[in-house]
Copies of this chain bind each other. A is one copy, B any other.
């Protein structure tokens, strides 16, 4: 029976896209990494980082491979986000997209401007996104919602602070991503109650101010509560 299936043209020419919304937060602005496509379809247009999955790799592996091939980024944690499967979402072939989100510090990575299939790469503020290829606008907006959810229940921001962070520092990141202000004292209590971070007994000095305690994300953490 499966051989009948393989011979049925309705089962042919299908593939899986693995597409990542890679975010960073700098100076109160949430940005996403976009690449410029150097081949058809959508040649010359901007797009999220991704491509077609190989048939011999897991989803996350494929998504990370695409990230590496198109941006040079090697170490990044990504989280499954959603699925996009409209019949016509890709013009050349039926492709179902599996989307991921990830966060890195744009200041700490070197982004390749040009690769085999891209002619540029840039961090775009999420409120200044150009026209994107495929259904990437939809995927990006959905990924942004997932990011807002994830920062309240996971260590997805870990990559921004590999050496730890102070609470006032990371509060600015939360406020930027969620586009919302928090009371300093309540934010501290709330964040600590989420059981995501821990004290490091170190402090960090800023010019002319009281030193701030340094915290870090816990290692094997469980996520129960949400921030918003």
Which residues from chain A sit less than 8 Å from chain B, CB to CB?
1-2, 5-6, 10-16, 39-41, 52-59, 80, 82-83, 85-87, 92-94, 96, 98, 117
B15 and A87 contacting across the interface, CB-CB below 8 Å: no
Contact present for A83 and B56 (CB under 8 Å): no
A121 to B173, CA, bound (A): 52
Among all A-B residue pairs, the 9 with the closest Cβ atoms: A59-B85, A1-B39, A55-B94, A10-B54, A14-B55, A16-B96, A83-B83, A83-B98, A14-B15
For this chain, the copies found in one complex come to: 2
B98–A40 CB distance below 8 A? no
- Write the chain B residue with the least CB distance to A87: B58
- List 30 A-B residue pairs with CB atoms under 8 Å apart, sorted by A's residue number: A1-B39, A1-B40, A1-B117, A2-B39, A2-B40, A2-B41, A2-B92, A2-B93, A6-B93, A10-B54, A11-B15, A11-B54, A12-B55, A13-B55, A14-B15, A14-B16, A14-B55, A16-B16, A16-B85, A16-B96, A53-B85, A55-B87, A55-B94, A56-B94, A59-B85, A80-B82, A83-B98, A85-B98, A96-B96, A96-B98
